[in-house]
Structure 1
Amino acid sequence: MNPKQKHNKKQKLIDDYGHNCWWCGKCLPKNQLTIEHLRPRSRGGSDCLENLRLACLSCNLSRGNSLYPPNWVRGNCL
């Protein structure tokens, strides 16, 4: 994704899901949310909106290329 596409997709995700981390539910300002791939690109995931969500940096980094963050339980990043 180029920067303009990334900005547009991030805004669309905010419009659809709000300013919340997909995993832990924290409400954060736009500049503290990262674009997260539900199915990581290293596992064949794409950059289509259906595969993207917003996540806080902590949840995004802790997840790596696994399908869920470590110790994830029903939307809680521990």
Structure 2
Amino acid sequence: MEQEILTEDIGGEYVGVRALEDGVTIIGLTRGKDTRFHHTEKLDRGEVMIFQFTEHTSAMKIRGKAEIFTKLGTIKCGKEFLD
């Protein structure tokens, strides 16, 4: 029997990403038994993108210096923030 995924249960979770340098990469990862890359975006410094988790997107990988805005707060990522 195929399991039904309700969009209301996984939709509505938004994440904002602001690039703090050129070439920040955002990779969307799929849901399901095998996690795979399904979408890639590149942002340059100052660009902002808003993402939503969906029935197809379960995770995001962000590479580069950026600020990530979620309902839980703000996260800074990049090697500069590790020290």
TM-score, length of structure 1 as denominator length? 0.23
Q: Which has the higher contact order (CA 8 A, sep 6+)?
A: 2
Greater strand share, structure number = 2
Relative to the length of structure 2, the TM-score reads 0.22
